[in-house]
Amino acid sequence: MNNENSRGQWGSNFGFLMAAVGSAVGLGNIWGFPYKMGANGGFAFLIVYLAMVTFVGFATMLGELALGRKTGLGVIGTYKVLYKKFAWVGWLGFLSGFLILGFYSVLGGYTLRYALGFLMEIFSKGAGFGGMGSGEFFGSFIINGGANVMFHAIFMGLTIVIVMGGISGGIEKFTKIAMPALLVMLLIVIIRSLTLEGASTGVAFMFAPNFAAFSEIGFMKVLKTAAGQMFFSLSLGMGCMITYGSYLSKSENLEKNALIIPIADTIFALLAGLAVMPAVGAFMSQGVEGISFGAGPGLLFVTLHQVFSVGMGGFIGNLFGFVFYFLVFIAAVTSSISLLEVCTAFFIDRNVSKGVKANRKMITIITGLVVFAVGVPVCLDGLGSGVAGGATIDIPAVMFGMSEVRVAFDCWLDFYDMIAEGVFMPLGAILMSVMIGWILKTDIIKSEVEEGGIKMKAYAFWDICFKFIVPIGILFVLMGQLDDFFGLGIF
């Protein structure tokens, strides 16, 4: 690759791995994994999750990295070059990343506000959260449109600055520091969590063999939740890994990297569980109100706030609250930069194809500002209870072939999420696996893996995965998302 064309290249394989793992490790791990595990039976959810990573996650990761490196282009350019009839699939990934970043940045701003809140509480009681309880503060914060826009702007601004620095000088430099720091902070919180009285309750919930959830919740519901969590946690289907793969040199071992990234992501998810579940279990056993494994999406901003401010309390509670929310903030940034890079890479590639030198800084600023604007409605509707009394997006479901139903979303976040994570991402991933397995054939992956003289070791396994297991596995993800958003009663 020519650095003069502003595309850039990873400075080292370690730098690439830190960036790729950072893309995967974000709110999906630190927030999504613990609360979905808590709501889906703990150990039973974990076993299904690990099976999905093994048979779907590894192969999809390899496919995206290989396609990106083969073309040296972002997600849209990759599909245009490889198979023109599937060129539109690249747009599914691009638009997914674009819409997700619009609300992801708002949630990232939330984590920064909570980190600053606990930091202020260390120095002056009541300064950070106004003396309010966890639920009361969260309710008041999400309807404060001005504050939400401000923190959204700070988060998006930091993301823009990092991506402006380029691949090796911006993204790689940041993630090589951020990911080890994230691991250290996570281990600090884990040690405190595991040393709380009653922490064993949470550890047992995670790791003690118990499959009761399969009968109580339903195996298919646990499967679709675990499959969805695996897919979104690994940043699959949104163009991130195709884009990051396009900056890889031909000498790197794709097969090895495709194993390392999901394994590292899973380790971080388990560590996040160990940071959260033992603490929740400890204060559940002590009878602290408002704390439970099944708290759902409120686990991060309500339950854990309660854990730190009431369960631990005092200076120690505020200190660990600050460390925890700051690490969640850093994890969110490592993911947001990959999402912005997906969008930025498209415009850079377009300029390069026309023989025009791309101005990465200007492209990144303009793209980031557009994404910021997309996120403003999310800031202002208060997750459905905002300053304008909530924003309901009513969609005639006949658009989706359901003439008897209308679909309404109470907030912009859910609307963006439905389009991106509900439809575009899993649909794009299914089509990618079909293209690799049945149209272009898996030889295209084999030839790219072996480009640098490295023999592909598990070709037969990958071949079966791409042809059969990945399409079926991601079909469960797609059906599960449609079931959640549209209440189809599939599961």
Q: Are 283 and 307 in contact (CB under 8 A)?
A: yes
Report how far residue 67's alpha carbon sits from residue 65's, in angstroms, rounded to the nearest whole number.
6
Who wins on pLDDT, 214 or 297? 214
Topology of the domain covering 3-486: Amino acid/polyamine transporter I (1.20.1740)
Q: What is the pLDDT of residues 4-43, one digit of tens each?
A: 345 789 999 999 999 999 999 988 888 889 889 988 989 9
Report how far residue 295's alpha carbon sits from residue 305's, in angstroms, rounded to the nearest whole number.
12
Q: What is the pLDDT of residues 281-333, one digit of tens each?
A: 888 888 777 787 877 667 888 888 988 998 888 899 999 999 999 999 999 99
pTM of the model: 0.91
- Percentage above 90 pLDDT, the chain: 70
Predicted confidence at residue 387, as pLDDT, reads 40
Give the residue extent of every domain in the chain.
3-486
Report how far residue 355's alpha carbon sits from residue 171's, in angstroms, rounded to the nearest whole number.
25
Q: What is the pLDDT of residues 338-374, one digit of tens each?
A: 999 999 999 999 998 888 888 999 999 999 999 999 9
395 has a pLDDT exceeding 80: no
